[in-house]
């Protein structure tokens, strides 16, 4: 089932698994979980596989193999991400000051690589789609790490997309052979959007998760009035690392800033 909608009411304190990478039935081979901590709570992990810990909200201190970092995030939409990306064997201790929420992404990977901590001051919004067909597919893309800034032994790619109310993202429809997962949030608990997988369309709401496999195209659209966020996590294939997605050829014309298209007469 591509759409996972069990947690629309929210997540409880503690660790909640949405997908498990080590489940033989998990077609993406990517694990997604949400970790929620109460104020003053401490949580310790010694990683058993490659993992990325993405701060969703809250203020905390993280000790990563003996180095301390302070993370604080109040808005997925207006603030850049903080993220820990580490290999098997790394010890992470989280000490919450306020209620804290992380999303955790992992895959099976025995290889080691240097730990990276990505901080908000190093991030930026890429205004992808700007100037195309009246800015109807303008979105903010934040690539947290990929092959440009992580080790070749790493097998994950992680980023965020901010989709404007009433506009499209992941557009033109694109595909790639590498498996991917989208995890959604909205500016309003009433928010919703549509997620395409090839010819199929699913209604997505806060805290939904969508599996993407088999080279299916996956464009998204947010309902008017509701900003849509999704974290995107990709796993490299053994002999085919993710780099540039393939855009659906028949719709590539919209990427030309000078493209002509129908508009109503004034």
Mean pLDDT of the 165-175 span: 96
Q: Which residue has the tokens 């500016």?
A: 187
pLDDT at 179 exceeding the cut of 90: yes
Chain centre distance of CA 170 = 12
Tokens for 91, please give them: 């010890």
For residues 167-187, give the mean pLDDT.
97
Reported as a single tens digit per residue, the pLDDT across 142-168 is 999 999 899 999 999 999 999 999 999
* 77 DSSP 8-state letter: T
* Segment (H or E) for 103: strand 100-107
Counts for the chain of helices (H) and strands (E), in that order? 0, 22
**What was the pLDDT predicted at 58?**
98
Angle at 3 between CA 238 and CA 57, to 5 degrees: 85
95: which 2 tokens?
């000490």
- Report how far residue 221's alpha carbon sits from residue 169's, in angstroms, rounded to the nearest whole number: 6
pLDDT at 80: 97
Question: Which pLDDT belongs to residue 266?
Answer: 79
- Distance CA(190)–CA(126), nearest Å, equals 27
Among the residue ranges 17-31, 120-134, 215-229, the one predicted with the least confidence is 120-134
- Tell me the chain's radius of gyration from C-alpha atoms: 18
Q: Is the pLDDT of residue 139 over 90?
A: yes
Query: Which of 148, 106, 95 minimizes the C-alpha distance to 126?
Result: 148
CA distance 100 to 39: 7
Round the average pLDDT of the chain to a whole number and report it. Answer: 96
| pLDDT tens sequence across 199-214 | 999 999 999 999 999 9
pLDDT tens-place string over residues 195-249: 999 999 999 999 999 999 999 999 999 999 999 999 999 999 999 999 888 999 9
- φ/ψ of 134, rounded to 5, equals 65, 30
Chain-centre distance for alpha carbon 228: 12
pLDDT of residue 257: 86
Q: What percent of the chain has pLDDT over 70?
A: 100
Minimum mean pLDDT among 119-128, 173-182, 200-209: which range? 119-128
Residue whose C-alpha is closest to residue 169's, from 261, 83, 232, 236: 232
Q: Give the CATH class of 6-239.
A: mainly beta
User: What is the edge-to-edge ordering of all strands in the sheet holding 209-212?
Assistant: 3-4, 209-212, 180-186, 228-235, 156-163, 139-145, 126-128
Token pair listed for 45:
């992990």
């Amino acid at each position: 089932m591509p759409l996972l909608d069990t947690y629309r009411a929210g997540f409880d304190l503690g660790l909640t698994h949405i997908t498990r990478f080590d489940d033989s039935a998990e077609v993406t081979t990517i694990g997604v979980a949400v970790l929620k901590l109460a104020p003053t709570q401490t949580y310790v992990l010694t990683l058993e596989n490659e993992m990325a810990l993405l701060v969703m909200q809250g203020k905390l201190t993280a000790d990563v193999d003996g180095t301390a970092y302070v993370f604080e995030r109040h808005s997925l939409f207006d603030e850049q991400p903080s993220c820990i990306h580490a290999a098997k064997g790394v010890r992470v201790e989280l000490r919450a000051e306020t209620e804290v929420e992380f999303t955790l992404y992992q895959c099976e990977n025995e290889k080691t690589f240097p730990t990276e901590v990505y901080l908000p001051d190093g991030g930026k919004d890429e205004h992808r789609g700007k100037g195309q067909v009246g800015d109807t597919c303008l979105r903010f893309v934040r690539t947290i790490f990929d092959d440009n800034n992580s080790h070749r032994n790493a097998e994950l790619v992680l980023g965020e997309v901010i989709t404007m109310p009433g506009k499209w993202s992941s557009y033109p429809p694109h595909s790639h052979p590498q498996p991917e997962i989208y995890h959604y949030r909205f500016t309003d608990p009433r928010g919703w959007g549509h997620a395409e997988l090839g010819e199929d369309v699913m209604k997505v709401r806060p805290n939904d998760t969508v599996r993407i496999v088999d080279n299916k195209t996956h464009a998204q659209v947010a309902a008017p009035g509701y900003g849509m966020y999704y974290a995107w996590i990709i796993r490299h294939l053994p002999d085919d690392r993710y780099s540039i997605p393939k855009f659906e050829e028949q719709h590539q014309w919209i990427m030309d800033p000078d493209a002509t298209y129908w508009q109503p007469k004034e």
